[in-house]
Amino acid sequence: MLNLTKRQALLAFNYFTKIGPKTMQKLLKTFPEARTAFSAPAARLEKSGLSANIVTDFCAWREKIDFSKLEDELAREKISFITWDEPEYPALLKEIATPPYVLYYRGSLESIGGLDKNRLSVVGARDHSAYAPKVIAEFLPPLIKEKIQIISGLALGIDALAHSCCLLNRGITIAVLGTGLDDKSIYPGVNKNLAHEIINSGGALISEFPPGTAPLRQNFPQRNRIISGLSQATLIIEAKLKSGALITADYALDQNREVMAVPGNIYSALSQGTNKLIQAGAKCINCPQDILEIFRIDHASQFKIKKKPAPVYFQNKTEELIYRLIREAHERCELITGDEIAQITKLDTSVINSTLSMLELRGFAKNDGIGYDIN
């Protein structure tokens, strides 16, 4: 039988996937600490409330575990860990009903722990509209300027936009994964570079799952409780009626944390979830100051009145027409694509493209990659 420290015992238990936080809490009501439970005979484990099948599987598993191999794997992948009884463990996270008893991390431990950090979780739709990037680009920078950390889940869509905006504005962001933190397990794979940027910028990746854990469907709702649990407040930007973002909102409510939502178009499926949250009592967020008030930060002076845009002079009626369509989309907080302009105007594609290029060159319009906006 291995002679483990308390910290090592918690790590070893975490690799046995059938004993999660709830079961560990049950064990620690019977045993004084994790290492006592780890070496306990089967009969005592069953008396603690574990099923006979789990006890049989665990006893067979612990005889084969190679602890030095586990530690070598963590070192090779540059993954560290903290346990729930160590002072570096995030204080807010420890307050939730089932905190992870082991938290793996890559990056800055300082960004994870501490009592004096303001944190905002930002979640929402993966397949978002053009509305979401505009909201994020306007709402997050003033918060980041006030040293509010941005927490999200590294998923496609809103999560990635929130992390990227934080990096662009030199803030600290933390990504909570539903997989292992080793490079092969990071999910989605297309955000692996983003994950590395988060680490290199002074932020962190965290997970309760050991290296090698695949992106199993059941892991993502489970990780959502950590996203909300790390933060004083959760902001939802675009969400359908059934979505992971609303699961995070439910966790935040259960954890007695503030839930906020950005209202949206009543005819859009992507706004049904957020609008329903607001109807149910979530705080309606119309500007960054609404969020700063939640954190009791009153810096209204930073929201300067925007100057009136310089007059736009057109060389022909086509420029004027296309610019008007771009401006109208901007006023709806949307982008407009060349294809959409073609559908409305019935103009030739080559005429539209050349006109858009001229508007860009003269500084009147810009292409955001998704569509066109006024500059």
Predicted local confidence at residue 115, as pLDDT? 61
May I ask the CATH architecture of the domain 91-302?
3-Layer(aba) Sandwich (3.40)
Residues 6+ positions from 25 with CB-CB distance below 8 Å: 98
Q: Give this prediction's pTM.
A: 0.81
* SS3 state at 81: strand
Q: Which residues of the chain have pLDDT under 50?
A: 300-301, 303-306
Q: What pLDDT does residue 116 have?
A: 65
Q: Give the pLDDT confidence score for residue 114 in this predicted structure.
A: 64
Identify the H or E element spanning 70.
helix 67-76
What's the fold here for domain 317-374? Arc Repressor Mutant, subunit A (1.10.10)
Within 8 A by CB and 6+ apart from 38, the residues are 2, 4, 9, 12, 13, 62
Q: What is the pLDDT of residues 302-357, one digit of tens each?
A: 544 445 566 788 889 999 999 999 998 888 778 899 999 999 999 999 999 999 99
Residue closest to 101 by CA, chosen among 21, 35, 177, 8:
21
Per-residue confidence (pLDDT) for residue 301, from 0 to 100:
44
- Tell me, what's the pLDDT at 331? 80
pLDDT tens readout for residues 226-266: 999 999 999 999 999 989 999 999 999 999 999 999 999 89
Q: What whole-number distance in Å separates Cα of residue 245 and Cα of residue 55?
A: 36
Domain ranges for the chain: 6-65, 91-302, 317-374
- As a dihedral over the C-alpha atoms of residue 113, residue 119, residue 120, residue 121, rounded to 10 degrees, the angle is 0
Residue 176 · residue 231 · CB < 8 Å: no
